[in-house]
Chain A
Amino acid sequence: KNQVEQSPQSLIILEGKNCTLQCNYTVSPFSNLRWYKQDTGRGPVSLTIMTFSENTKSNGRYTATLDADTKQSSLHITASQLSDSASYICVVSARNTDKLIFGTGTRLQVFP
């Protein structure tokens, strides 16, 4: 069964610190992997999209990595800001179904 699992479920860090969120998937055949940021009460907003041939992609202070062999991805946030407080959702697309499979997200809280 195609699944996407994220860890940790929640994370608290101090402003200015770095953090890394993890995503493991069992989706096959793999098409692409996306990371979304969802602020409370809002819809998800895309941070990065990576295909099979890409193993890293950055968007400002956000850097996503992809290891298609181990079916793992990570999202690294550098020098966190209060505005980074949100849920971060990993989404994987399977080539045969063209559907997006969503993880349950990691809830990040950044405190001053």
Chain B
Amino acid sequence: NAGVTQTPKFQVLKTGQSMTLQCAQDMNHEYMSWYRQDPGMGLRLIHYSVGAGITDQGEVPNGYNVSRSTTEDFPLRLLSAAPSQTSVYFCASSYVYGSQGPPYEQYFGPGTRLTVT
């Protein structure tokens, strides 16, 4: 059971380039999400998915796209990288989405450190 995996671990892009950050989980979790972590700020939600075929925007979605074709995978695409997207990106997953029932554990991946020059 690998949990949540992310690739690559490090990436350097030039402004205007595009790339996809990969995220996969092997826990059969319905809910997956992408966050970015910047110095002096809390993690901010970029996009999330409550199941295969369903995605929605989070707090800071501009410049990013996502898709969820399978339960396991939730890639994050940077369309045209900008220096403001320099950050550490974390993918997370949990069994259910929502706070109506008991809160389920959210598992985070190891992160991708992205630098845009």
Contact = CB atoms under 8 A, between A and B. Distances in A.
A92 to B, nearest CB: 10
A43 B110 contact: yes
Interface stretch (A13-21, A60-68, A72-80, A94-102): A94-102
A26 interface: no
Main secondary structure on B side of the interface with A: loop
A104 interface: yes
Interface string A33-63: 0100000011111100101000000000000
A65 B97 CA distance: 25
Interface of A: 4, 31-32, 34, 41-46, 49, 51, 89, 93-95, 98-105
Interface string B87-99: 0001010000111
A101 B90 CA distance: 15
Given A34-B106, A43-B110, A49-B103, 16 more contacts: A31-B99, A31-B103, A32-B99, A42-B110, A43-B4, A44-B90, A46-B106, A51-B103, A93-B99, A94-B99, A95-B99, A98-B98, A98-B99, A99-B45, A100-B106, A101-B42
A98 B33 CA distance: 13
